[in-house]
Amino acid sequence: MQNDILEVLYSEQDIQEKVKEMGELLSRDFEGRNPLVICVLKGAFIFMSDLVKRMTVPLEIDFMAVSSYGQSTKSSGVVKIVKDLDVPVEGRHILIVEDIIDSGLTLSYLIDVLERRNALSITVAALFDKPARRTTDLEADYKGFSIPDAFVVGYGLDYAEKYRNLPYVGILKPEVYSH
Ligand code: XMP
Ligand code: MG
C-alpha cells in the first residue's frame, strides 16, 4: 500500500490534532443541543469515530450511505441513497460528518433530503475540502484541511475500496488508477 502513495499530505498526528480541535469547537457550539450526528459512509467512518470521542456533549449517531463515485475518481453527478437513517430527523439538530467535499453534489443532495424531512438545524463538518473543484455554493461549517485538486486516500478514503485503513492521508500515484 505504501508504495502506491506519491506523497503523504497529513500524518496521523496532524490529523489527530485537527480532529481534536474540531471536536472542541463542536462541543462548545453544540452545548445544550443534543445533536444527531450522521456519518456519511463509507469514507467518513474513521473521522466520525475519532471526532465523537472528542465531543463532550450528549449526542446520538446514525449512518447513511450514498453513492456518487463508484470505482471512478470523478463524481458521476448522480447521488443515490444506498442506506438510509434508522431514526427520524424531524425536530433534531443534525451534524453531518463528511470525509471530503469535492464538487459538493453529495452534500447538497443530503442537506436537501434532511431539510425536506424537517430537521431543526443542519451543520456540516468535513475533514477535507477541495475548493478548486466545487460546482455548488456549498461550504462546510467546520472544515479540517483545504487540499489541492489531487485524488487522496487513507483515513477512511478509498480508491476502489482500498487504502481506507492507512492512518495518514496521501496522494495516490496517478499510475495506480490510470491503467
Ligand atoms: P462530491 O463531489 O459530491 O464528492 O463533493 C464527495 C465524495 O466524493 C468522494 N471523494 C473522494 N474520495 N479521495 C477519495 O477517496 C478523494 O480525493 C475524493 N474526492 C472526493 C468522497 O467519497 C466524498 O464523500
Ligand atoms: Mg469513496
Which pLDDT value is given to residue 59? Answer: 98
User: For residue 45, what pLDDT is reported?
Assistant: 98
Confidence (pLDDT) at 70:
54
In angstroms, what is the span from residue 106 Cα to ligand 1's centroid? Answer: 9
- For 80, residues 6+ apart whose C-beta sits below 8 A from its C-beta are 66, 67, 68
Asked if ipTM goes beyond 0.90, one says yes
> Burial, 71: exposed, middle or buried (Cβ in 10 Å; 0-12, 13-18, 19+)?
exposed
Q: What is the Cβ-side half-sphere exposure of residue 88, based on CA atoms within 13 angstroms?
A: 6
Domains and CATH numbers, the chain: 13-151 (3.40.50.2020)
Using DSSP bridges, classify how beta strands 121-129 and 152-153 pair: parallel, antiparallel or unpaired.
Answer: unpaired
Ligand 1 site-directed mutation target among 39, 42, 102, most atoms within 8 Å of CB: 102
CA distances from 41 to 3, 17, 21, 157, 166 (A): 26, 23, 22, 10, 17
Q: Kindly give the pairing relationship between strand 121-129 and strand 93-101.
A: parallel
Note the pTM of the prediction, 2 decimals: 0.93
CA angle 170, 138, 105 (to 5 degrees): 70
Looking at residue 49, its pLDDT comes to 98
For residue 79, the model assigns a pLDDT of 82
Q: How far is the CA of 179 from the centre of ligand 1 (A)?
A: 20
From ligand 1's centre to the CA of 154, what distance in Å?
12
- Around ligand 1, the residues with Cβ closer than 6 Å are 43, 68-69, 75, 98-106, 151-153, 157-158
- Closest atom, ligand 1, to C-alpha of 153: 15
pLDDT in tens, the chain (179 residues): 889 999 999 999 999 999 999 999 999 999 999 999 999 999 999 999 999 999 999 999 999 998 865 555 566 566 889 999 999 999 999 999 999 999 998 899 999 999 999 999 999 999 999 999 888 889 999 999 999 999 999 999 999 999 999 999 999 998 998 76
pLDDT of residue 110: 94
Catalytic residue among 102, 112, 149, 158: 102
| Cβ-contact 40, 106 below 8 angstroms | yes
Which residue has its alpha carbon closest to ligand 1 atom 13? 152
Measure the CA–CA gap between 103 and 135, rounded to whole angstroms: 5
